[in-house]
Amino acid sequence: MVIDHTKKGVVMNKVQQGRSLKIAILSPTFSYFSGPDRVVELQAKDLAAAGHKITIFTFEGDIPVPAGVEIVRMGMPKSPFVQRIYRLLFFVDVLKVRKYVKMLEGFDKIICHMYPMTILASKARRRFRLHYNYYNMGIAYPHLFETPLERLYMRFFLFLTKLTVQGADSSTSISDFLRKELKKETGVDGSIEYCKLRPEYKPSVDGSAMIKKYGLTFPTLLYVGRISPHKGVHILIEAFRVVQKRFPHARLLIVGKPTFKEYSEKLRLLAKGDPHIIFVGFTQDAELPQLYGACDVYTSCTQWEGFNLPAAEAQACGKPVVVFNVGSHPEVVKPGKGILVSDMTALAFGDAVVKALEEKESQRKNVLKKSKKK
């Protein structure tokens, strides 16, 4: 019999024996507006429910701490701009890095989400021989960002991520697309764990309250996600103009927190005050399923996607999905549940949305005919 005395072996033995593990989950933020942070929330809940002792380490967060989970808020500057710089150069804050690496002593396993938390994970692994699992939710390609400064920032962010991930004991990617990307960039291979959906996302969800609130008519397009350049919201607005030629009364709901001020201002200029384009902003959890219920088609012109949780949620609510054929979308968009657009232009995307809506319109007419016959 071979006995594995490494930390990885100790962790595996405890798991096989059904023993509780002390697990640290590291995430830069733990906030409502962030899709990846909601993945962290569900992960923490599931691990705590399985009997493990869970502590979340984060700079800041406003999500209520799940039952049985502890949280350590490390703090960071208040200004969004300064926050980005601080997170990029976190390794310079030597005293804070040492403090929180020391706090990781005694844990069995670290599950690390994103740089710069990978700095803590990498150092704690070396110092205390902890099992370091990198939970890979991906990083958008730098060339998809608008300004030279943003592209430079993302290139440096990507470089530092690669540097601090290469020593990980294992990795978990939220799609096979990301697994392959990680292996190519760092040599680290691992398993795939698709994002879980909450039970409130289901075909029977009632969207009438949102229809009334925003004065929606047929057809309504919905986008949910960060308002960031690589999400292609500017392309979506241009594609919506194509849809309006066929459906003049169409509505476009854009739901999400602006994370790039200049880009958000650009979008509003592009919308030209069109009352049919509604910037909802950040919305509460209770309203999100209802928004899916209120729409006729879910649309996203994102040019890179590690998973696309909103697209999966929309399908769970019985809504057709139209997205570009990029990243993980071939894995996420189920056959017969949506359209993958290979031509990455606003015109091609708009035409695909029109096709989806015409199918929806035909279904509606058939239902009306059947009801009249009765």
Domain 18-192 has CATH 3.40.50.2000: yes
* Per-residue confidence band for 367, with pLDDT thresholds at 50, 70 and 90: low
Q: How far is CA 202 from the centre of its chain?
A: 19
Rounded mean pLDDT of 143-160? 94
- pLDDT, mean of residues 126-135: 97
pLDDT at 84 over 80: yes
Query: pLDDT-based confidence at 18, cuts 50/70/90?
Result: low
**Nearest Cα to Cα of residue 109 among 81, 130, 89:** 130
Mean pLDDT of the chain: 92
State the pLDDT at residue 284.
84
**77 confidence band (pLDDT: 50, 70, 90):** very high
Fold of 208-354: Rossmann fold (3.40.50)
* 313: pLDDT strictly greater than 80: yes
Q: Do domains 18-192 and 208-354 have the same CATH topology?
A: yes
Once rounded to an integer, what is the mean pLDDT over residues 291-304? 97
pLDDT of 355 > 70? The answer is yes
Identify the pLDDT of residue 292: 97
Mean pLDDT in residue range 332-359: 96
Q: At what angle do helices 309-316 and 35-49 cross, to 10 degrees?
A: 70
At 218, list the tokens: 């047929």
Q: What mean pLDDT is predicted for residues 239-244?
A: 98
User: In this model, does residue 361 exceed pLDDT 80?
Assistant: yes
Give the model's pLDDT for residue 156. 97
- Alpha helices of 206-273 — where are they, by DSSP H? 208-214, 233-246, 261-271
Question: Band of the pLDDT at 80, cuts 50, 70, 90?
Answer: confident
Length of the chain: 374
pLDDT at 372 over 70: no
Q: Residue 6's pLDDT is what?
A: 46
The predicted pLDDT at position 4 comes to: 40
Domain ranges of the chain: 18-192, 208-354
Question: How many CB atoms sit inside 10 A of residue 106's CB?
Answer: 9
